[in-house]
């Protein structure tokens, strides 16, 4: 049980603010008790001050029937308070009640200060009953069997009247929120020229009863003069949505009245508006609702306090470009309310708000379903990824095994740097093998192999400084650089020595050989010519 005490007035109330005047207890109960001391509405625990609940049989009686005195100060999430308990089962209570089914007592909260002074609260009527249902009034079994249904039906039948009666006693009246209301800026005759006016719906500019949601039915301004001398004017309502003004409603064109006379635009079926909506009124001219342009109009105005985003503008734009922030057109608007409930003049809910709540619930349900579907998809994807990971791990293990086998098959190099191959070396066309130190290069063509020796080797087909041309596949050995042979060259097919001299010395020697050759054969030619006995 929570009890609040106003330190200024010593008024006792419940957390809802309803004054605590009556308290009903059942003998044998033990109630948790929380007492909060309010200083200008703020819970406090003054040093040296302790509250106590005292219950007596009469106001002038000094004997306590019930008491809660050992309340301890706390400061928790609910604020500062004193907590303890109240036992409704004392010997004094038993003696006072006797055999009576109930007893009426008087209670009060006492504040005891450290200096011994006391302050008492307003009186509380305390009713204590022996039991909720004494044994002598227990209903028959057939009634008890349907007891819950009977109680529920009885409460359902009595609740509207009981609730309404209780609220009426507290000064709270339950009324439906329906009908219409008129909001105005007040009257003034200050002339101004406006095309657009930006404002926040529900701020202090328009005075009158306004619920959180309504439908704007009409807007009235006081005509002063028309700068363009047009006969008819339209009125558009723009509402800000996602940083952009969109058309919320268009009122048909109305004819200009006489100077200083009202002109009213009607919206059918009405423009839905919520408290806090950013809107803009735009006066327009044009042949129809689809071909309207902004048009300035002279109207009566009132002086207002400057406020961000509020004032006269020359065009509809976001953010609005305010040209006059302290002037507003004289307005009178009528609004219709959605069905709802007001308690004591305070609106609790509207039909549209309940519909919006239902939409929110449905949206949340759809979002939850989508989230569940996404979670299922993610789980399936995770399982697929796990399967793929297992396959990849198996492939990696197989690749590692193959790599180990390939490494084991590679011939190893011994300590002397030699490598022994178990088989031969096969070369395909276009490939070659170059022996170490440039000794020889083996080329592979499509039909044969060519061994190119840049210097005489000491092994293979060239052994012991002897070149065996019969053992060369092409039976030809081509030596392109200078070479000295210390042994014998076996050339069964002959040796082709080019006679073209490569140096001046070789050319001179070559000429000497030719001269000697000609000299040796000169006499022989002469002999044949002079002594030839044959006749050819």
CA-to-CA distance for 87 and 31, rounded, in angstroms?
6
Domain stop point among 104, 134, 164: 134
Q: Give the 3-state secondary structure percentages of the chain, helix then strand then coil, rounded to 5.
A: 25, 35, 40
193 and 299 both lie in a single domain: yes
The model's pTM: 0.36
Point out which residues pair with 73 in neighbouring strands: 82
**Res 315: pLDDT:** 92
Split into its structural domains, the chain has a count of 3
Q: Phi-psi category of 417—alpha, beta or left, where left has phi over 0 and alpha has psi -120 to 50?
A: left
Point out which residues pair with 223 in neighbouring strands: 299
Specify the CATH number for the domain of residue 48.
2.60.40
Query: What is each CA distance from 459 to 246, 449, 454, 488, in whole angstroms?
Result: 99, 18, 14, 16
Look at residue 252 and tell me if it is in a domain. yes
Answer positive or negative: Cα dihedral of 354, 359, 360, 364. positive
CA-to-CA distance for 278 and 198, rounded, in angstroms?
7
328 and 191 both lie in a single domain: yes
**Lookup: tokens for 146:** 């349907």
294 and 208 both lie in a single domain: yes
First to last CA, the chain: 163
Q: What are phi and psi of 509, to 5 degrees?
A: -65, -35
CA-to-CA distance for 43 and 310, rounded, in angstroms?
40
27-50 CB burial, b ≥16 within 10 A, e <16: beeeeebbbbbbeeeebbbeeebb
Instruction: Please give the distance of CA 86 from its chain centroid, rounded to a whole number.
Output: 50
CA-to-CA distance for 272 and 202, rounded, in angstroms?
13
14 and 112 both lie in a single domain: yes
116 and 197 both lie in a single domain: no
User: Mind listing the pLDDT tens digit of every residue in the chain (536 residues)?
Assistant: 889 999 888 889 988 888 888 888 888 888 888 999 988 888 888 888 888 888 888 877 778 888 888 888 998 888 899 998 888 888 888 888 888 888 999 988 888 887 778 888 888 999 998 875 555 555 555 555 566 666 667 666 666 666 666 666 665 555 555 678 888 988 887 888 999 999 999 888 888 877 788 889 999 999 887 766 677 899 999 999 988 999 999 999 998 888 889 999 999 888 999 889 999 999 998 888 888 999 988 899 998 888 889 999 999 999 999 999 999 999 999 998 765 555 555 555 555 555 555 555 556 656 666 776 777 787 788 788 878 887 888 888 888 888 888 777 777 778 777 777 666 677 676 677 666 555 566 666 655 555 555 544 444 444 444 455 444 444 456 666 666 666 667 766 666 666 566 677 777 777 777 777 777 666 555 555 555 454 44
Domain residues for the domain of 312 are: 180-343
Look at residue 38 and tell me if it is in a domain. yes
| CA proximity to 283, closest of 242, 341, 224, 360 | 224
Strands 124-129 and 22-26, by their bridges, are parallel
299 and 197 both lie in a single domain: yes
CA-to-CA distance for 277 and 259, rounded, in angstroms?
32
Look at residue 397 and tell me if it is in a domain. no
CA-to-CA distance for 37 and 50, rounded, in angstroms?
10
**Res 437: pLDDT:** 54
CA-to-CA distance for 328 and 372, rounded, in angstroms?
53
Point out which residues pair with 4 in neighbouring strands: 13, 36
| CA proximity to 335, closest of 266, 262, 283, 284 | 266
Establish how many alpha carbons lie within 13 A of residue 329's alpha carbon, considering only the half-sphere containing its beta carbon. 29
244 and 106 both lie in a single domain: no
Query: What is each CA distance from 257 to 195, 201, 232, 261, 390, in whole angstroms?
Result: 18, 27, 10, 6, 86
* Concatenated DSSP letters of 118-164: EEE---EEEEEES-SS-GGGPPPHHHHHTHHHHHHHHHHHHHHHHHH
**Res 92: pLDDT:** 87
**Res 284: pLDDT:** 93
| CA proximity to 93, closest of 28, 157, 141 | 28
115 and 248 both lie in a single domain: no
Look at residue 490 and tell me if it is in a domain. yes
Secondary structure letter of residue 469 according to DSSP: G
Look at residue 153 and tell me if it is in a domain. no
Look at residue 400 and tell me if it is in a domain. no
Cβ neighbours of residue 44 closer than 8 Å, sequence gap 6 or more: 7, 37, 38, 80
Specify the CATH number for the domain of residue 235.
2.60.120
124 and 206 both lie in a single domain: no
**Lookup: tokens for 180:** 């219409």
Neighbours of 328 (CB within 10 A): 25
159-179 CB burial, b ≥16 within 10 A, e <16: eeeeeeeeeeeeebeeeebee
Domain stop point among 319, 343, 367: 343
Look at residue 236 and tell me if it is in a domain. yes
194 and 334 both lie in a single domain: yes
Answer positive or negative: Cα dihedral of 201, 205, 206, 209. positive
Query: What is each CA distance from 269 to 241, 352, 355, in whole angstroms?
Result: 21, 16, 19
Answer positive or negative: Cα dihedral of 426, 429, 431, 437. positive
Look at residue 467 and tell me if it is in a domain. yes
128 and 205 both lie in a single domain: no
Domain stop point among 314, 343, 372: 343
129 and 262 both lie in a single domain: no
- Give SS3 for 177: coil
* Contact between 20 and 124 (Cβ < 8 Å): yes
């Amino acid at each position: 049980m929570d009890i609040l005490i106003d330190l200024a007035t010593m008024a006792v109330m419940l957390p809802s603010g309803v004054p605590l005047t009556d308290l009903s207890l059942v003998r044998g109960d033990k109630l948790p008790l929380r007492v909060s001391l309010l200083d200008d509405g703020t819970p406090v625990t003054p040093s040296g001050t302790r509250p106590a609940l005292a219950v007596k049989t009469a106001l002038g009686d000094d004997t306590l029937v019930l008491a809660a005195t050992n309340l301890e100060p706390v400061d928790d999430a609910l604020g500062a308070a004193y907590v303890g308990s109240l036992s409704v089962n004392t010997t004094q209570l038993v003696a006072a009640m006797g055999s009576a089914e109930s007893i009426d007592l008087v209670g009060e909260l006492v504040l005891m200060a450290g200096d011994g002074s006391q302050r008492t609260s307003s009186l509380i009527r305390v009713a204590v009953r022996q039991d909720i249902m004494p044994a002598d009034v227990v209903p028959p079994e057939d009634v008890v069997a349907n007891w819950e249904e009977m109680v529920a039906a009885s409460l359902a039948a009595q609740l509207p009247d009981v609730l309404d009666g209780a609220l009426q006693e507290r000064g709270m009246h339950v009324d439906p929120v329906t009908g219409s209301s008129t909001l105005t800026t007040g009257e003034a005759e200050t002339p101004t020229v406006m095309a657009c006016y930006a404002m926040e719906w529900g701020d202090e500019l328009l005075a009158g009863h306004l619920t959180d949601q309504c439908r704007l039915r009409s807007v009235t301004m006081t005509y002063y003069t028309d700068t363009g001398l047009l006969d008819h004017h339209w009125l558009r309502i723009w509402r800000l949505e996602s940083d952009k003004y969109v058309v919320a409603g268009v009122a048909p064109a109305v004819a200009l009245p006489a100077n200083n006379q009202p002109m009213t635009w009607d919206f059918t079926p009405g423009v839905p508006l919520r408290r806090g909506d950013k809107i803009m009124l735009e006066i327009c001219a044009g042949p129809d609702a689809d071909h309207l342009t902004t048009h300035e109009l002279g109207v009566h105005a009132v002086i207002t306090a400057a406020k961000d985003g509020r004032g006269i503008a020359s065009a509809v734009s976001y953010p609005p470009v305010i040209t006059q922030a302290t002037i507003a057109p004289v307005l009178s608007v009528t609004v219709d309310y959605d069905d709802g409930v007001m308690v004591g003049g305070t609106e609790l809910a509207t039909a549209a708000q309940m519909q919006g709540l239902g939409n929110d619930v449905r949206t949340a349900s759809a979002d939850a379903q989508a989230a569940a579907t996404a979670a299922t998809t993610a789980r399936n994807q995770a399982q697929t990824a796990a399967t793929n990971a297992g396959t990849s791990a198996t492939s990696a293990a197989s690749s590692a095994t193959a790599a180990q086998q390939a490494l084991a098959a590679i011939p190893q190099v011994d300590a002397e740097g030699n490598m022994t191959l178990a088989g031969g070396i096969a070369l395909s066309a276009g490939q070659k093998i170059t022996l170490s130190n440039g000794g020889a290069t083996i080329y592979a063509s499509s039909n044969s192999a060519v061994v190119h020796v840049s210097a005489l080797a000491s092994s293979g087909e060239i052994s012991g400084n002897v070149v065996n041309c019969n053992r060369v596949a092409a039976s030809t050995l081509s030596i392109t650089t200078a070479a000295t042979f210390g042994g014998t060259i076996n050339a069964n097919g002959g040796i082709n020595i080019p006679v073209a001299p490569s140096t001046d010395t070789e050319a001179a020697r070559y000429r000497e050989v030719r001269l000697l050759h000609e000299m040796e054969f000169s006499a022989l030619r002469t002999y044949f010519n002079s002594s030839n006995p044959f006749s050819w």
